[in-house]
Structures are given as structure tokens and as C-alpha cells.
Amino acid sequence: MKQPNVEIITQLAIHNIKQKELARRIGEREDETSRAINGGDAQRFERIRNKIFDYFQIN
């Protein structure tokens, strides 16, 4: 399994979306979305990663 940040960054490139735009679309702060993508291990980052996975329909 790929690391979460690699998969998310790949999806951002495929869909031509910047992290800032993704944060807006999922209703999260830009800085916390960035930390979630880059592997922050706090529970809130896990929750944000799950929202990102749902947004991109990543299993």
C-alpha cells in the first residue's frame, strides 16, 4: 500500500487541484489539510485524511 501522502498528491495532480483548493472543497483549514497530507499523526489529521480519501474515492 502506498503512503497516504503519495496517493493524495497523485490524486491532486490527476485532478489538477492545489492543496488550498482541496481544503476549501472538503471544508478544512489549509494548514491542517497540508499537515494531514504530509503525515501528521494526530487524530484530527486522520479524520481529514479520511475526508480526502472519500473526496477522491480512495479505498
CA 29, CA 2: separation in Å to the nearest integer?
25
Flag whether pLDDT at 17 surpasses 90: yes
pLDDT digits (tens, 9 = 90+) for 31-57: 999 999 998 889 999 999 999 999 999
- Average pLDDT of the chain? 91
CA geometry: angle 23, 51, 18, nearest 5 deg: 30
Q: How confident is the model at residue 2 (pLDDT cuts 50, 70, 90)?
A: low
Distance in angstroms (rounded) separating the CA atoms of residues 24 and 52: 11
Confidence band (pLDDT; 50, 70, 90) for 12?
very high
Distance CA(42)–CA(37), nearest Å, equals: 12
What integer pLDDT is reported at residue 1 of this predicted model? 42
Q: How high is the pLDDT of residue 57?
A: 93
Residue indicated by cell numbers 482541496: 22
